Structure 1
Amino acid sequence: MSTDRVLGGRYELRDVLGRGGMAIVHLARDICLERWVAVKVLRGELARDPLFRGRLRREAQTVAGLHHPGIVSVHDVGEHVDDSRADEPSVPFIVMEYVAGQSLRARLREGALTLEQSIQHQVEVLSALEFSHRAGVVHRDIKPANVMVTPDGGTKIVDFGIARVGGDPGATATQPHALLGTAQYLSPEQVRGEIADARSDLYSAGCLLYELLTGRPPFVGDNPVVLAYQHVHEDPRRASAYRTEVTPSLDTVLVTALAKDRNDRFQSARSFSEALQSAAKGLNRADGCAATDNVVPFPLLGHATTTSRGSTASRTGHSPSPPARDEKKATTRSA
């Protein structure tokens, strides 16, 4: 294997797991520890740009400080130097936990989730967001593509590439007041160019829950401008209009989560989760959507959750042999 495929003399690059405008994510083998990891490598053409180099470094620093079973882990960072190209700059990379499984985006494409599955995934996402927000980190791009579903059914949030850290707008992975994120899941204040806070993530999480329950985001448009207008000025249809099993209580939770004014939304991920789990108690067991017994209660901060699907330890991504590749099943795909 050529040296340009072994980063830092340690990480042997294999399949490409995801591509983005800033970076490429590879499946890789950690030669020293004999485990599979995901390596996010800055695109070569961007390696000379201090803005993008700094953005990748801050992403690594941000995620490295978040130790939660529902957030992808960072193992290492480094810079690769190609000895055959002495005139080229070093290329930064991040080594992350390899998350076997598929994104919620891919899972939704396979068919509708039960209400129980939807609520279970949402509760776990909110647990991770509560932990992130307590640490002063606002993700700013919560969406189905950035939530991985592990083989045992757990969830992990990935891609903190545009996260905002702390109360200082300058301590963000990109320039403040820029329109960042994905149009279908942007909060109204992000559309207006205002600084995002934890409640902005909760709006995006509301969009996520809406899509988990109905199979479609709350707003659909031909272009980002149309979507932006809808987020600011229009109210989505009740989720029950698209799926009759959605109860009035769940509709009410979504109305609060998707309020235009952030002061009218849930003020924390915990309060969002508690309202959702309370609404879940009204689901009809006869519809195959019972959600009261299996939904994981909101965990204590800083404690890993163990569910009936398996222990947290089983979500580490360690594997003694190369994981099977399935193009429909992406792994840590932040790019």
Structure 2
Amino acid sequence: MYIAMEYAAQGSLLSQIKRVPLAEEVAAPFLFQTLCGLSYLHRRKVIHRDIKAANILLGESGVAKLTDFGLATPTEATGQKMEQLTMLVGSVYWMSPESISKGIQSESGDVWSVGCTAIELVTGVPPFFDRTPVNALYHIAESTESPVPNTVSELMQDFLACCLQRNPDVRAKLTELVHHEWFASCGVDTSVVPDGDLASLLSTTHNSSGSPAGGAVSSIAQEVERYLFGDRLAEREDWLKSGGLATAVNALTTITAEDSYRIVRSLAFESQRAASESSVFFESLGDTEFWGLDLVVLATMDTVATLFSDCCDHQPPTCRNYAPSHKHALQLVLRSSDVGPQCISALHRLLVCRLDGEASASTDAPKNRRELRHSSMYIAPTVSTDAARVRFLADDGIAVLRDIVQSMCLQAFREKTEPLVRWENIDKLLEIVLSFAPAAGSDQEDNLPTMGDNWLIAVQEACMHNCPSALHLLMYSIDSRDGIVSGERVIVGRLISVGSQPLLDYETRLKVAECLPRLQAQYPEASKALCDVHGNIPLITHMMRHAPPSGSVDSMLSVLTALCESGDMAEACASYDGMLTLVIQKILEAQQRGSPQCLDRSLRLTELLFSRAPHPEWFVTSRQLTQRLIEIIGTPSLNVESSGNPESADAKCRTSAVTRAKRLLNALAAQSISV
């Protein structure tokens, strides 16, 4: 058997750089074409595993051709093929850290190799080429050294940094890289790539009339492209208004997979054009059953994500099938590890980011390339946030988000892994849910999910991974009319654990602390949990150590005092020796700040603890405590006569503080005699 293959007249890129490394402007088109070819493979669930200059050939017209598929393997493999996915294969200097250290072979590994190949093209050698192969393997897997050279332009450094993220979960996707501004700076035209689809870039062209060239497309696909890509705006709009788009969508399940991919790709392309023109495209799409189809089979997730994101920005909420609140659409795109972050950002942008007023929508430009489409593709949203939120509620979108977040968080909890979409995007989904909470004191209906067992576990897990919205949602549930359903002891532990984290800001820490007295008063089980001497009391002590900003009242002290008004809580706190140290610290801070209120409050706390102390000798033998009390009694500024108006709040606190100090000193002396 003979196999006839295209002849690559100009050889490989390796042969080109052996003479002299390529300039960035020369290397960029080859890398762009390589990304397109690689995307074609990934869409068909195949990874290459050996991307490097030697495996990229140049044809007669100078177009890059990806070759050498000897190590390529399906990503959805079983049996012997599955073993290939965990084998250490590839060329040493182009291998990703995870493939070396964990044997993980994925699309992300190919992206890493693209970054190494880019360095190879402009410097002549891949990263760490000055090391032996064995040493390079170890260095790639274990070192934190960045392989990005500082001899290239800043834009290329940014492109390389996107490719060479050591964590494969945060490494850039092909759909992001192909729109990187480095390509545009090098003169590469990326505008011909529909956002989210790269599969047929090199083989798909259009003639001057706007019709697709070639005869591989079915008549229905060709008809769709004839209308959507034609130059006659009126004809296109008439086709949309007459139900042509609905006909095309209905045909998706009756044609080949290639043709359905082609049609959905065309719809994604058109959605971007319709975003900047006056068109009924989004209304027409909303009148079809597009989101009810099995789009996993009929399209690529990239094209579906593009359509969903554009619908969030531009589809009228009055549509029959409104994408941002459509149950199937939300479940499909928000759960995806590949396109979930993009779609979550679009939904968050629609329902939360523009709540401050519609006027801000026109300036709500993208801030992060990983969250939004490339800024050059960005079109200001045209949808009313208020109308979108009304429709989202009407379609029970909050319940759908609850189910999505709950399933991902429970899976992360059980498997001890990060959610598919990462915790920062879980936080965005929770912020959307929280944004529908009624304002304090309003009669608005409470549409937030009841804090049942599974939802509680999901929110708690998000709290433990520093999701602020989860924390606020938990605190809201404590204050809500229905409160929490179960798990009071667990909630107490979670709140205290979160509140004692060292990097938490004071205001958030205070909000967490202020929930504790309410839990103590409302739930007996929570009250018992607070008195855990070996677990919660040390953490509470640590939480309360944080001083307020300069010039502010020590509200943490008020919280702790309120908790210790309960005899059981006071006894538990007094049983922990670190609490006495905290009290002395609070007395000293009040003296230094010159705050009569804080001083009186800290002495009240000391009285509560001493009255229930299982070990009163700790207080009796504390020289620091005795010294503080003597100083307070002898401080002239605390004398009522020197305080001005004796009826002022400050004067009353001074009097109370001196009285408490004398009473405590006498009690300590009496206890000392009895001991």
SS at structure 1 position matched to 2:65: strand
How big is the shift at 1:215? 2.2
Residue in structure 2 matched with residue 301 of structure 1 by the alignment? 199
TM-score, structure 1 normalization: 0.55
- Which residues of 2 match residues 145-294 of structure 1 at below 5 A? 145-168=54-77, 170=79, 172=81, 175-232=84-141, 233-239=143-149, 241=150, 243=151, 246-266=152-172, 268-275=173-180, 278-281=181-184, 283=185, 291-292=186-187
Q: CA deviation at 1:100?
A: 2.6
Q: Deviations over 1:290-313 (max 9, x none)?
A: x22667854642243589xxxx99
Counterpart contact for 1:126–1:273, Cα < 8 Å: yes
Q: Which shows bigger deviation, 196-205 or 249-258?
A: 249-258
> Do structure 1's residue 113 and structure 2's residue 16 form an aligned pair?
no
In 2, the alpha carbon distance for the partners of 1:126 and 1:136 equals 15
Q: 1:122/1:229 Cα in 2 relative to 1: closer, same or farther (>3 Å)?
A: same
User: C-alpha displacement at 1:123, in angstroms?
Assistant: 0.3
SS at match of 1:252: helix
Question: How far does residue 173 in structure 1 lie from its aligned partner after superposition?
Answer: 9.4
Q: Which runs of 5+ in 1 are unaligned?
A: 1-7, 12-38, 40-94, 284-290, 314-335
Deviations 1:52-74 (A, max 9, x none): xxxxxxxxxxxxxxxxxxxxxxx
CA contact (8 A) 2:86 2:104 kept: yes
The structural deviation recorded for 1:222 is: 3.8
After superposition, residues 71-150 of structure 1 pair within 5 angstroms as: 95-150=4-59
Distance 1:238 1:197, change over 3 A: closer
Check whether the contact 1:170–1:176 (CA below 8 A) recurs between aligned residues: no
Tell me the distance in 2 between the aligned counterparts of 1:305 and 1:116: 23
TM-aligned CA distance change 1:196 to 1:210, over 3 Å = same
Larger relative helix fraction: 2
Deviations 1:212-236 (A, max 9, x none): 2222212224422211122122423
The within-5 A match list for 1:33-52 is: 39=3
Counterpart contact for 2:73–2:84, Cα < 8 Å: no
Equivalent residues of 2:50, 2:110 under 8 A apart: yes
Partner of 2:443: none
Structure 1 residues 180 and 231: alpha-carbon distance in aligned structure 2, compared to 1, 3 A threshold: same
C-alpha separation in 2, matches of 1:273 and 1:225: 33
CA distances 1:143-202 after superposition (whole Å, capped 9, x unpaired): 111100123211001111111213225463973422111001001111124231111100
Which one has a larger percent strand, Structure 1 or Structure 2?
1
Counterparts of 1:112 and 1:261, CA distance in 2: 29
Please list the CA deviations of residues 91-133 of structure 1 after superposition, one character each: whole Å capped at 9, or x if unmatched. xxxx543333211111110212121111100000000011110
Q: Say if 2:85 and 2:105, in contact at 8 Å, map to a contact too.
A: no
CA contact (8 A) 1:231 1:260 kept: no
- Compare CA radii of gyration and give the structure with the larger one: 2
Which amino acid in structure 2 is aligned with residue 154 of structure 1? V
Equivalent-residue separation in structure 2 for 1:184 and 1:208 (angstroms): 10
**Partner residue, 1:322:** none
Contact 1:190 1:196 survives alignment (8 Å): yes
Higher RCO (CA-CA < 8 Å; seq separation 6+)? 1
Q: 1:170 to 1:141 in 2, by over 3 A?
A: farther
The amino acid across from 1:127 in the alignment is C
- Distance change (3 Å), C-alpha of 1:306 and 1:211: farther
- The answer (yes or no) to whether the contact 1:148–1:158 under 8 Å persists in 2 is yes
Distance 1:216 1:195 in 2: 25
CA distance in 2, matches of 1:219, 1:150: 30
The 10-residue stretch of structure 1 (229-238 or 143-152) with the greater mean CA deviation from structure 2: 229-238
Aligned to 1:113, the other structure's residue is in SS state coil
Amino acid at match of 2:159: V
Structure 1 stretches (4+) deviating beyond 4 angstroms?
293-297
Change beyond 3 A, Cα 1:112–1:176: closer
CA contact (8 A) 1:219 1:236 kept: no
Give me the whole-angstrom Cα distance separating, in 2, the residues matched to 1:158 and 1:254.
22
Matched residues, number: 203
Paired-residue identity, %: 28
Matched position secondary structure for 2:84: coil
The answer for the alignment partner of 1:36 in structure 2 is: none
Match of 1:90 in 2: none
Q: Does the 8 A contact of 2:183 with 2:189 survive in 1?
A: no
Question: SS where residue 262 of structure 1 aligns?
Answer: coil
Cα separation, partners in 2 of 1:117 and 1:237, compared to 1, 3 Å: same
Letter in 2 for 1:189: E
